[in-house]
Amino acid sequence: MVSEAENKRFGSQGGPPPPSSHPDSFGSPAAAGKEETMQLLDQDLPRTLPQYQFLQTSGSLRDVLQTFVRYRPDIGYVQGASAVASVLSSRPDVDGHTIHPWPPGPGMSYLAATLLLYMDDSFECFTCFANLLNQPFCFDIYRLQREQLDLHIKTFEYFFKLNLPALYQLFKRYDVEPMIYYLDWALTLYVKCLPLDVVARVWDSYLLLGEAFCIRTALGILKLFGKTLSR
C-alpha cells in the first residue's frame, strides 16, 4: 500500500486525482467489484515480457499493478483486447457486424512492465503508470465504456480512410475491423507488437502528442505492410 508520505509525494508530481474525487468512482455501480480483477494477475504476469524474468521474480510488477487496483478500483485490472471485445460483443458495431471476443491476454501489465524496464523504484513506476492511465486516451480505453471506445474507433477509421483509402476499402471488403488490430495495439501502446527499442521511440512521441501519434503509428504499420496485405 502507498504510505501517507508517498501520497504527498505523488500529489506533488501532478498525478491523477484520488478515486474519491472522480464522479464515477467509489459508491457508483461502475466502481463495484473491480478489486477482484486482481485475480487475473496470476494469469497475465508469467506471459508479460517473459524474456525479462526479473519482472516476475522481484515482485515489483505485481506490486505496481496491485497498488493501482487498490488506488483506482473504478478501473481495476484490465486484460488485453479480450476485455474490450467482451464490452462490444453484445451488440453489432456501426456497420452491423458482430464483434467476436477472443481468448484473454495481457494488456495493462505490458504498460507497467515497460516502465519497470527503465525504473528501479516501484513507487516511481506506480506514479508514472497511474499518470499514464489518467491520460484521456488510455483512460477512455481502460474504462471500457462503449461510447468512448466507439468514438476512438471512428476517429481512427476517419484517418485510415483519409490516408490509406485503398487499404481501407480492402479491409472493409473482408470485414477486417479496427477492433481486431488497432485497439489491441492501443491497449498496450504497441508493446505487444513492436520491438522494445521501437516502442521506446513511440512512447516518447505518444507522451508528447497523445492519441494523434497512436493513430499515426498504426497508419505507419499499415502502410509499411500495405503491399503484403493487398496481395
∠ CA 130-4-138, rounded to 5°: 10
What is the chain's length? 231
Give me the residues paired with residue 92 across strands. Answer: 98
pLDDT value for 165: 97
Which residues share a beta bridge with 98?
A: 92
**Rounded Cα gap, residues 188 and 176, in angstroms:** 20
The angle subtended at Cα 219 by Cα 217 and Cα 223, nearest 5°, is 120
pLDDT at 195: 95
pLDDT tens readout for residues 138-161: 999 898 888 898 999 999 999 999
Q: What is the DSSP letter of 92?
A: B
Q: Please report the pLDDT score of residue 231 as a whole number.
A: 82
Strand locations in the chain (E): none
Confidence tier at 56 by pLDDT (50, 70, 90): confident
**Spatial separation of the C-alpha atoms in residues 126 and 123, rounded to whole Å:** 5
Residue 223 pairs in a beta bridge with none
Residue-level pLDDT at 92: 47
| Mean pLDDT in residue range 178-187 | 89
Structure confidence at residue 107 (pLDDT): 85
3-state secondary structure 9-24: HHHHCCCCCCHHHCCC
- 8 A C-beta contact, residue 79 and residue 40: yes
CA distances from 206 to 3, 178, 194, 221 (A): 31, 19, 15, 15
Question: Residue 190: its pLDDT value, please?
Answer: 96
